[in-house]
Amino acid sequence: MSSEEQTIQHLDEVNKVVGEYLKGNDPTRISKELAIPRTRVVTLIKEWQTMAADNTAIRARAKEALAAADEHYSRLIAKSYEVIDDADTNGDLKSKAGAIKLVMDIESKRIEMLQKAGLLENKELAEEMMEIERKQDILKKILMDIASEHPEVRDKIMRRLSEAASKGETITVVQDV
């Protein structure tokens, strides 16, 4: 078998495993359904998560899919609450209990989905935070340079910077002499 054929076969296997994983199946169930050792399933899922986390396009698509799934769960929960209200009106405790359990199950699935997606979201948020902090540092340096070059606006800039500063953070402007 050529290297290209091996790569195609490997990617097919990753796609099958990830397809089941995204349906909400755990590695043990995927292993049984696809007749692949559980350790291999776990390895393939981790490989896919790494690839997905490093790919901006995949992260964007994952974000869209996550938002759509979250919205879908919200609609299902809203419908379940309608069933609860109807059951209340009709005094149907069995239906009410079933609908309450359904809401709990849906919420559980939603939380599980969001936790699984956490790797993507956490990395993206961390990158965004680092970029915001970098830009804030640049802006602070620009303002401090202006304050040191123009003493007439120095106090106003320093007052505004101190309002934006974190507790315990010291802002120092070196005046040109």
The rounded mean pLDDT for the chain is 78
Q: What is the pLDDT of residue 166?
A: 60
Q: What is the pLDDT of residue 110?
A: 79
Band (pLDDT 50/70/90 cuts) for residue 142 is confident
Model pLDDT for residues 54-76, shown as the tens digit of each residue: 667 666 777 777 778 888 888 88
Q: What is the pLDDT of residue 117?
A: 67
Region of 168 please: left (phi>0), alpha (psi -120 to 50) or beta.
left
Model pLDDT for residues 82-103, shown as the tens digit of each residue: 888 888 888 888 888 888 888 8
Separation of CA 130 from chain center? 16
Q: Is it the case that residue 8 has pLDDT exceeding 90?
A: no
State how far the alpha carbon of 93 is from the alpha carbons of 11, 81, 89, 107, in Å.
Answer: 50, 14, 10, 21
Query: How far apart are alpha carbons 75 and 14 in whole angstroms?
Result: 31
Query: How far apart are alpha carbons 32 and 24 in whole angstroms?
Result: 14
Q: Is it the case that residue 112 has pLDDT exceeding 90?
A: no
Please choose, from the candidates 50, 47, 16, 56, the residue with its C-alpha nearest in 3D space to the C-alpha of residue 34.
16
